[in-house]
Amino acid sequence: MLKNIFTFLTAFFALNVLIASNAMAQNGYKIRAGDTLNIEVVEDANLNRSVLVLPDGSISFPFADGVRAAGLTTSQVAAKLADTMAPNFTTTPNVYVSVGQVAVRQATGPIVPATDDIYVSGEINNPGKLAGSRGITVLQAIAQGGGLTRFAATKRIQVRRGNKIYGYNYETNAGNIRLQKGDVIIVPQRKLFE
C-alpha cells in the first residue's frame, strides 16, 4: 500500500513539473503570424476557442476583435485580451492563452503557406487552416470550418487576398468567390443590434 502511494505521488509530482515546464516554455515563446492560439475565458466558457494569428499579427476574438498578438508571449496576449474585454464583464475576466499549433516556417525569408492552405478566422466553430482547399468557395470553406458561431456577423464576412478585401454575405450568398492559395476568411463578431 505504501509503495502504491509513493508511486502515485511520484507520478503526480512528475506531471506537475511537466505541466509547469510546458507553461514556462510557452510564456517565453513569441507568437508569430500563422500560429493557432487556444483561448479560454473562465467567466464565460462560450468564448473558449482556437484562433488563428492573421498575417497582420492580429487575432479575431469576441469583445476584443483586432488585438495584436504577434511578437507577444501567451501571458501578454492573455493580459491584453482581459483588459480589452473587461468593460463587458463585471470584473476583469480570467483569460488563459496557449499555443495550439505553431505555423510552418521556412529557413529564411517570409512566412509562406506550405500547401495551398486557406485560412478561416473569427466567429467560426473550427477556425484555422483548411489544407489543400484551393478552388472551393467561401460558403464551402465556412462549412468545412464547422459553420458560423452564434456571434457571427453574417453580412460582413471578409475574404482577404493580399492587399485586397472582398465582402461576403452568408445570408444571400452574395460575394461567393472561389478561394486561392493563402486567402484568409474573417468572420467578424456581430454588433449589438445586427
Answer yes or no: is 64 within a domain: yes
Dihedral angle sign, alpha carbons of residues 119, 121, 124, 125:
positive
Cell numbers that stand for 114 in this block:
506550405
CATH of residue 69's domain is 3.30.1950.10
CA distance 49 to 189: 14
Residues 176 and 131 both lie in one domain: yes
Answer yes or no: is 5 within a domain: no
Q: Cα 57–126–130 angle (5° rounding)? A: 75
Terminus-to-terminus CA distance in the chain, angstroms?
63
CB-hemisphere CA count at 13 Å for 165?
6
The number of domains in the chain is 2
Dihedral angle sign, alpha carbons of residues 146, 38, 164, 117:
negative
Answer yes or no: is 109 within a domain: no
Cell numbers that stand for 43 in this block:
467567466
Each residue's pLDDT expressed in tens, for the chain with a length of 194 residues: 555 555 554 554 544 444 444 444 445 789 998 888 999 999 988 888 888 888 888 898 888 878 899 999 999 999 999 999 999 889 999 999 999 888 766 555 555 444 467 889 999 998 888 876 667 888 888 988 889 999 999 999 999 888 888 899 998 888 788 888 888 899 999 888 77
Residues 136 and 183 both lie in one domain: yes
What is the predicted pLDDT for the residue at 176?
Answer: 81
Domain region containing 181: 118-187
Residues 129 and 173 both lie in one domain: yes
What is the predicted pLDDT for the residue at 55?
Answer: 86
Q: Whole-model pTM?
A: 0.50
Answer yes or no: is 6 within a domain: no
